[in-house]
Amino acid sequence: MIAAVAYLWWRPPAWISDPMTPAPPIRAQLLDGRNFDLAQHRGQVVLINVWAPWCPPCRREMPAMADYYRAHQHQGFTILALADDELAAVQDFVAAEKTPFPVALLSTAEGTAGLGEINRIPTSFVVDRQGRIVHRVTGPLHPGRLKSLIDPLL
């Protein structure tokens, strides 16, 4: 029983679909003031993660995402984290966690409607080097899931 609870706590279920659709033209102003334009990242693998600081599974997946980003950014991998919360709460979380990848507010990002309905967070989209969404993951990402979904694309 304890093992089952621990498994669900650390690795809750995720639903993975493989839509293979063109990624929408997402643009966002990052928390640090820079601009992110998905079109300028063609040729890279991009993980678009929709999350919120108040969401426990989102908070648990962030260290794995940060570690994966640090280890693979030199291979043409990046993350765009789109936060669904107020600016102050997001800034506080990003500063406290020393989040190394680009973060923007979902409410100010353009083109996200093209991702489809997001009715649960975290939800992530893996965009391949050709600009196609190859995976949609509803639920948290843990290190093994990141590796299995993204390593083959790098």
**Band of residue 27 on the pLDDT scale cut at 50, 70, 90:** very high
Domains of the chain: 14-153 (3.40.30.10)
pTM of the shown model: 0.88
Q: What is the DSSP letter of 23?
A: P
Residue pair 112/127 in contact (Cβ under 8 Å)? The answer is no
**Band of residue 111 on the pLDDT scale cut at 50, 70, 90:** very high
**C-alpha triplet 3, 12, 45: angle, nearest 5°:** 135
Query: Which pLDDT value is given to residue 20?
Result: 75
Q: What is the pLDDT of residues 44-67, one digit of tens each?
A: 999 999 999 999 999 999 999 999
Give the phi and the psi of residue 84 in degrees, each rounded to 5: -100, 75
Q: What is the pLDDT of residues 112-152, one digit of tens each?
A: 999 988 989 999 999 999 999 999 999 999 999 999 999 99
3-state helix, strand, coil in the chain (%, to 5): 40, 25, 30
